[in-house]
Amino acid sequence: MSTAAPSKREVYLLARVGLSDSHTLAVYRAHGGYAALEKVLTGGYTPAQVIQLVKDSGLRGRGGAGFSTGLKWSFMPDPAKDPRPRYLAVNADESEPGTCKDRVLMEKDPHGLVEGILLACFAMRVRTAYVYVRGEYRRSYERMAAAIDEARAAGLVGQKILGADFACDIWMHKGAGAYICGEETGLMESLEGKRGHPRPKPPFPAGSGLWGKPTTVNNVETLSNVPFIVMRGAEWFKSLGTPKSPGNVLVGISGHVERPGVYELPLGIRARTVLEECAGGVWKGRKLKAWIPGGSSTGFLPAAKIDLALDHDSLREAGSMLGTAAMIVLDDTACTVRAMQVIARFYDHESCGQCSQCREGTQWLHQIFARLERGEGRMADIELLSSLANGMAPAKTICALSDAAAIPTHAIVKHFRHELEEHVKLGRCPLAAPHEVRDWVHSEETAEEAHA
Amino acid sequence: MSSPGKPSLPAALVREFEELVRHYPERRAALIPALHRCQEELGGWLSPETLEACAAFFGLAPVEVFGVASFYPMFHLHPAGKHVVGVCHNIACALRGAEEILGAVCRATGAQPGKVSPDGRYTVERVECQGACTAAPMLVLDGVFHENLRPADVERVLAAVPRSPGRLLESLR
């Protein structure tokens, strides 16, 4: 996959990924690796100072929610008052459709994540971290496991790290392919060896997380930013991106573009710039019809919105979300209804089934989009979609998977209502040949059987 | 642990899992990684006997272990083909020809999605997003990603099978 970024912009997260053997300790150290850990451990930093530095930098979580990382860390109780064991769980369960950026970091720069984990553990006085990697990411797992072994052998993981009074162990943990385990409480259940059923909040993980102990869950890319913030300072970090969304972000772009890839760009970059400069524009000389800004749960936006900035606030104002900054592009020959059916099928498949709104709602959405695409929909279905989505979100269920299906449903009704109506009026998909839809329906039925 | 007639895990896996459980404050946390290893070493699927043996090792009721195994799509609870081919059908792959890749896989293997091929060589599955969206479409063959595929590539990819999973390290005792 392509991981280049236009050279005129500052690149740090992916600065090492083009080097040969970038995943090894030797190359990492030769390019400034573990200097941040050394700075903190030998420079007289206190854990509170590291938390303050991360707070001051304005770093926001890169896993989708965009919460302040420093603030999250500060929720961990004071060990003097709460001496229970405490944990860091690294969320490497990247699975929002469209998203494949953490994989680049783990495969090409695993020591960067190890150093970020160690700094986070120092700041939160954590002695045990688990890296929960989705089961499908075999190479990420292998590279991370090898990096941790190398770091342990070099005295960077384990007891008396760099001779300082700091001990920290990092263990790899393999998931087994369920989207819901990327939700932080589902991840914790899964890490405890259970079904990945999200837990109601409160209690929040900082008070009662893994095994009921104080726990923080951080995304891979979030932690990979930390060594750079420690080395270069909060002001430098804030010089990149926007005032409310500082720093660079890994933007993935997939779908109907010439050069799909993962690109490192400052937050607040215009979506058009990513599409045209990085990805080489819509493929085959076609025109843009629709695009998704941050993974499949953030919903389709029309071509007219391509000048939006990719940052938390701009996208929220536009009724969408930055999510995982994973853009998915549809050209003008694509059917948004079919694309939405694929998305709805996914959330139907991945609902854990605890909450009725989500369990039933995702199934209904999938069925309705499927019949609209087959040409068997009714005009009333469009209102039914809205009404269902209103019953599913916001904040009506234990976790946000229900929202993840409702948000793109609202988006398609709002921005592409005409395409839904056209499917009903014509009694068929206007963009596909009849045999194509027949094959599609057949393969869908096969999929249903496979899931049954 | 090994009462007569009850399945138990091969000694090599027991040694491995005893090491694994030390990473966690509670043994059960090692269950999912352990199920992965069982599937790899004990025939490519999780048989009722394997689940029962795992339950005995972890001190859980067999139904608890079945409940966990059945939640996670990567675990096979029915005999799988010698090689497992997963074709991602999620949005980024769907936009770049996933259905054509799936069709080519079905033709090349003789298996229908969700089924084992008549010769027992392949299980073909539709899988959800694998995190290869910028290299779509893709398939996973025995855990290895093959990306940026065209339908014409499928035969070549299937011919270059890395190694046989499901090799029997030791059968259940």
Candidates B72, B102, B126; nearest CB to A178: B72
Cα dihedral B127→B132→B133→B135 (10° resolution): -120
Q: Is the CATH number 3.10.20.600 carried by domain A248-330?
A: yes
Enter the tokens of residue A355.
Answer: 């909450």
CB A373 within 8 A of CB A337: yes
Output DSSP code: residue A197: P
C-alpha–C-alpha distance, residues A64 and A61, integer Å = 7
Encode burial over A218-245: b for 16+ CB neighbours within 10 A, e otherwise: bbbbbbbbbbbbbeeebebbbebbbeeb
Q: Is the CATH number 3.40.50.2300 carried by domain A336-451?
A: no
Looking at the complex, report in whole angstroms how far the Cα of residue A320 sits from the nearest Cα belonging to chain B. 18
Q: Find where tokens 């900054």 sit.
A: A325
Q: Is the ipTM of this structure higher than 0.85?
A: yes
Which of A152, A163, A79 is closest to A117 using CA atoms?
A152
The amino acid sitting at B102 is L
% helix, strand, coil for chain A, step of 5:
50, 15, 40
* Res A432: pLDDT: 76
pLDDT tens-place values along chain A, 452 residues long: 445 544 579 999 999 999 999 999 999 999 999 999 999 999 999 999 999 999 999 999 999 999 999 999 999 999 999 999 999 999 999 999 999 999 999 999 999 999 999 999 999 999 999 999 999 999 999 999 999 999 999 999 999 999 999 999 999 999 999 999 999 999 999 999 999 999 999 999 999 999 999 999 999 999 999 999 999 999 999 999 999 999 999 999 999 999 999 999 999 999 999 999 999 999 999 999 999 999 999 999 999 999 999 999 999 999 999 999 999 999 999 999 999 999 999 999 999 999 999 999 999 999 999 999 999 999 999 999 999 999 999 999 999 999 999 999 999 999 999 999 999 999 999 987 655 655 555 555 555 544 44
What stretches of A99-229 adopt beta strand conformation (E)?
A: 128-133, 169-174, 215-219
Enter the tokens of residue B35.
Answer: 């199920």
Which of A173, A176, A14, A164 is closest to A103 using CA atoms?
A14
* Chain B hits for A330, Cβ within 8 Å: 95
Cα dihedral A365→A371→A376→A381 (10° resolution): 10
pTM, entire model:
0.94
Residues A136, B133: C-beta atoms closer than 8 Å? no
C-alpha–C-alpha distance, residues B40 and A123, integer Å = 38
pLDDT of B99 higher than 60: yes
C-alpha–C-alpha distance, residues A452 and A449, integer Å = 5
Domain boundaries along the sequence of chain A: 25-238, 248-330, 336-451
- The CA-to-CA distance between both ends of chain A, in Å, stands at 34
Q: Which residue of A has its CA nearest to B131?
A: A100
Average pLDDT value for residue range B53-72:
98
The alpha-helical segments, DSSP class H, found in chain B are 11-21, 31-41, 48-58, 62-69, 91-94, 98-109, 154-159
Candidates A176, A255, A261; nearest CB to B95: A255
> Any chain A CB within 8 A of the CB of B23?
yes
Q: Reply yes or no: is the peptide bond before residue B137 cis, omega within 30 of 0.
A: yes
Chain centroid offset of residue B159 CA: 19
Angle at A343 between CA A342 and CA A348, to 5 degrees: 95
% helix, strand, coil for chain B, step of 5:
40, 10, 45
Looking at the complex, report in whole angstroms how far the Cα of residue B130 sits from the nearest Cα belonging to chain A. 6
* Res B170: pLDDT: 38
Say which CATH topology domain A25-238 has: Rossmann fold (3.40.50)
Please tell me whether residue A354 adopts helix, strand or coil conformation: coil
The amino acid sitting at A30 is A
- The domains found in chain B, sorted by start residue, are 11-69 (1.10.10.1590), 83-159 (3.40.30.10)
